[in-house]
C-alpha cells in the first residue's frame, strides 16, 4: 500500500491524513484541535499544542490506516497561508519525515487543498468555490491556470465572525456549530419568519462582516433571545456569501458551486446555496463534514495531484509562507 501523508497545521488544527498514491483511496485524518481557555487563538500556544500532539497523532493515524513506515511514498504539508508559529511545526515535522524516510516532500497551498478535496469527493469539475472558513471568505474560480479570487471579505472571515459572536454570548471556540444548533432550535419553536435587522454588506463581489458582528453583539447585550440573534446572524451573513456566489456563477457562466472550509459544515448555508444553484439550473456540492474543516487528508490529496504533475519541493524551497494567497499557486493539474 503506497501512501501520501498530508500534514495540516495552519491554525488551531494539527492533523495527519493520507491518500493512496494511485488516488484510489482517501483515508480519514487523525486531528487534534487547540481550544483557547479564553479569548481568541494564541499562535504560540497553538504551536505548543501542535508540538505536543504530533507524536501521538501520527501513531494513531498510522494504526488506524494499518500502515507502517515502508508504506509512505511522500510527505505533503501546508506551506501557507496561516499563523507562522503553527505552520512552522508542520513544516518541521514534514521535513524530518521526508529526510528520515528518504521520500519526496511537497509544500501545498492550504486554500487550494480545500478546493481539490471538494472536487475529488463530489465529482464536480469546474465549480465556483465558496470558501467559507474561520480565517478566509473567498469566492474563487479557475481561470488561466490559477484559482482566481473573484471576491472576498474586506475585513474578518465569516467563521471568525461567528466565533467572536459566540464568545460574546458564552459559547467556547469554535462557536459555529453551537450557533447553528441555537438557530435551528429557535426555528423549530418559533418558525423562520422572525428576523432581526442586521447590516448586510456586499460590495460588488466583496463582503464584510464586522458591521454585522457588532450589531449582533448589541442585540444580545440588549437581552434579545440568543436563538433569534443566532438565526438572524446566519440568514443575513450566509445570504451575502450566496449572493456573491451567484454573481460569480453569472459572470463566469459556470453551473457548479462547491462549498469548502469549516463553515461549509453548516446545513443552512448548504441549503441556501443549493436553492440558489437549482434556481439557475445549476448544482451545489460539498464534501462530508470532516473534510470541510481543516484536515490532513485534503493536504495529502493536493500533494498527490502536484506530485503526479511533477511538482516536488526541494528542502531549500520548503520554508513556510504565512501570507501565501489562493491565486499565487500555479494549477497545472486537470
Q: How far is the CB of 87 from ligand ATP (least distance, A)?
A: 10
Q: How far is the CB of 124 from Fe ion (least distance, A)?
A: 19
* Helix (H) or strand (E) segment spanning residue 77: strand 72-80
Return the residue of 8, 116, 294, 301 that touches Fe ion, per CB under 5 A.
Answer: 294
Q: How far is the CB of 160 from ligand ATP (least distance, A)?
A: 6
Cβ proximity of 232 and 198 under 8 Å: yes
Q: How far is the CB of 306 from ligand ATP (least distance, A)?
A: 18
Q: Which stretch binds Fe ion (CB under 5 A): 125-133, 150-158, 233-241, 278-286?
A: 125-133
| Pairing of the two strands 202-203 and 146-152 | unpaired
Q: How far is the CB of 325 from ligand ATP (least distance, A)?
A: 12
Q: How far is the CB of 115 from ligand ATP (least distance, A)?
A: 11
Return the residue of 20, 30, 133, 137 that touches Fe ion, per CB under 5 A.
Answer: 133
Q: What one-character-per-residue DSSP string does 181-213 give?
A: HHHHHHHHHH-S---------EETTEE--HHHH
Cβ proximity of 149 and 109 under 8 Å: no
Q: Which residues contact 267 (CB under 8 A, 6 or more apart)?
A: 180, 184
Largest separation between any pair of C-alpha atoms in the chain: 61
Closer CB to ligand ATP, 4 or 179, in the complex? 179
Closer CB to ligand ATP, 85 or 261, in the complex? 261
Alpha helical stretches, state H, the chain: 43-65, 84-101, 110-122, 158-168, 175-190, 210-221, 226-252, 267-279, 289-292, 296-308
Based on the shown chain and the rule CB under 5 A, indicate whether residue 243 belongs to the binding site for Fe ion: no
CA Rg value for the chain = 20
Interior CA angle at 228 toward 242 and 265, to 5°?
40
Please tell me what DSSP assigns to residue 75: E
Q: What one-character-per-residue DSSP string does 255-269 give?
A: -EEEEESGGGG-HHH
Q: Report what 164 binds from ligand ATP, Fe ion, none; CB cut-off 5-8 Å by kind.
A: none
* Helix (H) or strand (E) segment spanning residue 30: strand 26-33
# residues near Fe ion by CB under 5 A: 2
Closer CB to ligand ATP, 20 or 136, in the complex? 136
Closer CB to Fe ion, 245 or 262, in the complex? 262
Q: Report what 174 binds from Fe ion, ligand ATP, none; CB cut-off 5-8 Å by kind.
A: ligand ATP
Q: Which residues contact 231 (CB under 8 A, 6 or more apart)?
A: 182, 183, 186, 187, 192, 194, 195
Closer CB to ligand ATP, 72 or 213, in the complex? 213
Q: How far is the CB of 282 from ligand ATP (least distance, A)?
A: 23
Which residues form the interface with ligand ATP (CB under 6 A)?
10-11, 13, 82, 110, 133-136, 157, 159-160, 162-163, 174-177, 180, 261-263, 265-266, 293-294
Q: How far is the CB of 156 from ligand ATP (least distance, A)?
A: 10
Interface residues toward Fe ion, by CB under 5 A = 133, 294
Amino acid at each position: 500500500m503506497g501512501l501520501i501523508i498530508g500534514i495540516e497545521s495552519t491554525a488551531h488544527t494539527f492533523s495527519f491524513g493520507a491518500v493512496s498514491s494511485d488516488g484510489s483511496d482517501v483515508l480519514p485524518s487523525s486531528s487534534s484541535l487547540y481550544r483557547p481557555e479564553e479569548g481568541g487563538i494564541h499562535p504560540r500556544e497553538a504551536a505548543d499544542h501542535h508540538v505536543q500532539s504530533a507524536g501521538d497523532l501520527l501513531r494513531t493515524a498510522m494504526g488506524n490506516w494499518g500502515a507502517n513506515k515502508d508504506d509512505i511514498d511522500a510527505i505533503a504539508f501546508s506551506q501557507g497561508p496561516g499563523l507562522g508559529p503553527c505552520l512552522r511545526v508542520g513544516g518541521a515535522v514534514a521535513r524530518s519525515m521526508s529526510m528520515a524516510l528518504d521520500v519526496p516532500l511537497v509544500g501545498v497551498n492550504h486554500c487550494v487543498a480545500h478546493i481539490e478535496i471538494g472536487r475529488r469527493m463530489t465529482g464536480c469539475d469546474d465549480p465556483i468555490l465558496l470558501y467559507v472558513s474561520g480565517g478566509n471568505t473567498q469566492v474563487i474560480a479557475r481561470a488561466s491556470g490559477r484559482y482566481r479570487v473573484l471576491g472576498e471579505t474586506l475585513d474578518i472571515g465569516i467563521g471568525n465572525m461567528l466565533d467572536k459572536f459566540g464568545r460574546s454570548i458564552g459559547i467556547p471556540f469554535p462557536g459555529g456549530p453551537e450557533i447553528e444548533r441555537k438557530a435551528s432550535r429557535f426555528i423549530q419553536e418559533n418558525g423562520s419568519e422572525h428576523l432581526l435587522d442586521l447590516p448586510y454588506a456586499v460590495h460588488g463581489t466583496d463582503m464584510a462582516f464586522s458591521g454585522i458582528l457588532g450589531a449582533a453583539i448589541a442585540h444580545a447585550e440588549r437581552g434579545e433571545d440568543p436563538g433569534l440573534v443566532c438565526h438572524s446572524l446566519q440568514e443575513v451573513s450566509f445570504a451575502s456569501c450566496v449572493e456573491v456566489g451567484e454573481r460569480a456563477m453569472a459572470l463566469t457562466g459556470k453551473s457548479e458551486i462547491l462549498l469548502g472550509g469549516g463553515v461549509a459544515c453548516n446545513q443552512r448555508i448548504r441549503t441556501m446555496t443549493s436553492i440558489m444553484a437549482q434556481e439557475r439550473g445549476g448544482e451545489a456540492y460539498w464534501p462530508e463534514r470532516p473534510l470541510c474543516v481543516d484536515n490532513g487528508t485534503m493536504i495529502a490529496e493536493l500533494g498527490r495531484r502536484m506530485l503526479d504533475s511533477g511538482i516536488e519541493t526541494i528542502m531549500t524551497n520548503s520554508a513556510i509562507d504565512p501570507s501565501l494567497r489562493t491565486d499565487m499557486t500555479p494549477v497545472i493539474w486537470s
